[in-house]
Amino acid sequence: MEKTPVHLVWLRHDLRYHDNQALYTAREAAQLDNGIVLALYIATPLSWQQHDMAMIRQDLIRRRVAALTAELAELKIPLLAVEGMDYDSCVAVIAQLLPLGVVALYAQQEYEVREHARDHAVAAKLHEQQIPCYWFDRLCVMPPGSVLTQQGDIYKVFTPFKRNWLVKLATFGVKCFPKPAVQSATAIVVPNLTPMQAGDNSSAGWPVAELEVLNRMRIFCQQRVQDYTTARDFPAIDGTSSLSAYLAIGVLSAQQCVARLQHEAGQQLEQEKSGASVWLSELIWRDFYKHILVAFPRLIKHQAFQTETDRINWPNDNRLFAAWCRGETGYPIVDAAMRQLNETGWMHNRLRMITASFLVKDLHIDWRWGERYFMSKLIDGDFAANNGGWQWAASTGTDAAPYFRIFNPVTQSERFDPSGDFIRRYLPMLASKTNKEIHWPHKPVTAKGYFRPVVEHNEARKLTLALFSAVKSQE
């Protein structure tokens, strides 16, 4: 008897069934040859560890895969979630599935070097048996390499990139794929593979049902985006979408966000300072950093974009680094922010900028230490955005803050947490300080139970300027 053709969909950072081109295309193909779709997810904890992936993010993935299994079951699409080791194990897992009658593999493309090598190895394995692989370039709204200067070069500065990106959006629009059609009930006997294990439940506060996440995004675009321009910089306010964790693992696509925003905001998107257009800019930043990563693979190796800055001789004091990680620097806004990261796995964007700048330009620690620490804690850890953010703050990246622009953490605190509400939330020992004192609780003496400042900002600033000037003058 002829085997039923199996269209294998390998899910990775596209853990959703709405707007999933790989899944949708496989389902269409299966309808044509009376085949079935089998979805696959391979957990690779060893590779995750090599990427410094936070435990909370690992847990979010595991919980999301479990939820997606149930959601796909409604469409009668089986999802086989297995436990692998590292990326090498993916070839072996997929090879074991081929005898089921796999006729094609469908997956969303990924850009990092190790992921590329993994996919290459899988494609080579399938090629041996003349099984085609279809890769879909959907991680960005505009695929890397599609937004170029008139000379065909990659943009290294955000503003002209954004301008051209918007022209492309106006010209081509944004396409989202419908959910795949229900397939007829299928009994499929899969080989004996280790089922994916459950996580540690550390991400339990983050809902993982796809419709709930889509609904959050819809409500943000309908009701909250109007205030985004004014509210987005204040960490005490819930002024941003908090969708980054979902975008990072693909419960949601950036295309869905853009399409929904266009639908809800309409004309407001034409106004440069409207909440809708500022939020769209953030989604464009997301694309920008991924495009840069693909064009400059040396970034994956944690090299600086501005190569001369790799000659900076960072003092890298372990004691100062430990104080920063624990939130014990004596600078309340920095300490409260680091505690938000350690306690919740997420940190507000303004605080990411402040703490990153502080680590590099006040504590004189190599930005790569901070990049790695963030990755090991963030629920939304994403290589391109994290690397881009760190290199921006450290003045080593593309379109980075100029090196002589050094955030004053106390002024930042007064400006963006004026009433000290955010600081009080994470530093209860400062609860009784007045709104004015809380930003610098060291006069006349440090508040009881709080930490003395580990550095003096003005002195630290001078050293930063000297460290950068030394390498800039050699150019």
Q: How many residues comprise the chain?
A: 475
Residue from 28, 83, 110, 282 carrying the catalytic annotation:
282
H or E segment to which residue 423 belongs:
helix 421-426
CB of 243 to ligand FAD, least distance (A): 4
Q: Name the residue with tokens 């630290």.
A: 460
Q: Which residue has the tokens 């700048």?
A: 357
Per-residue CA distances from 423 to 239, 293, 351, 428, 433 (Å): 17, 35, 11, 8, 10
* Residue nearer to ligand FAD on the CB measure, 13 or 286: 286
Cβ atoms of 221 and 275 within 8 Å: the answer is: no
CA 172 vs CA 25, 138, 166, 169, 257: distances in Å: 20, 15, 10, 5, 16
Q: Is 206 a catalytic residue?
A: no
- Which of 332, 345, 381, 441 is in the footprint of ligand FAD by CB under 6 A? 381
Closer by beta carbon to ligand FAD, 20 or else 387: 387
Instruction: Please check whether residue 22 is in contact with residue 12, taking contact to mean a CB–CB distance below 8 angstroms.
Output: no
In the complex, the smallest distance separating the C-beta of residue 275 from ligand FAD, rounded to whole angstroms, is 10
* Residues between 197 and 256 that touch ligand FAD (CB under 6 A): 232, 240-244, 247-248
Query: Which is the catalytic residue, given 165, 279, 346, 367?
Result: 367
Cis peptide before 444 (omega within 30 of 0): yes
List binders of ligand FAD among 318-347 (CB under 6 A).
none
The answer to whether 364 and 314 are in contact (CB under 8 A) is yes
Closest distance between ligand FAD and the C-beta of residue 429, in Å?
26
The residue (of 133 and 394) whose beta carbon lies closer to ligand FAD is 394
Kindly tell me which residue out of 15, 334, 356, 401 binds ligand FAD, with binding defined by CB under 6 A: 356
Size of interface with ligand FAD, in residues (CB under 6 A): 28
Partners of 154 in the beta sheet? 148
CB of 386 to ligand FAD, least distance (A): 3
Residue 352 touches ligand FAD, criterion: CB under 6 A: yes
Cis peptide before 428 (omega within 30 of 0): no
- 282 catalytic per annotation: yes
Task: Please classify residue 197 by burial: count the beta carbons closer than 10 Å to its beta carbon, then call 0-12 exposed, 13-18 middle and 19+ buried.
Answer: exposed
Q: Cα(421)–Cα(405) distance, rounded to whole angstroms?
A: 27
Does position 286 interact with ligand FAD (CB under 6 A)? The reply is yes
Task: Write out the H or E segment, with its range, that includes residue 96.
Answer: helix 88-97
From the list 297-305, 334-342, 388-396, 438-446, the region that binds ligand FAD by CB under 6 A is 388-396
Residue 77 binds to ligand FAD (criterion: CB under 6 A): no
Q: Report the residue closest to ligand FAD, judged by CB.
A: 389
- Catalytic residue of the set 28, 314, 342, 435: 314
Q: How far is the CB of 112 from ligand FAD (least distance, A)?
A: 13
**Listed residue (24, 21, 61) closest to 381, CA to CA:** 61
> Which residues are known catalytic residues?
282, 285, 314, 349, 367, 390
Site residues for ligand FAD per CB under 6 A: 232, 240-244, 247-248, 282-283, 285-286, 289, 349, 352-353, 356, 374, 378, 380-382, 385-386, 388-390, 393
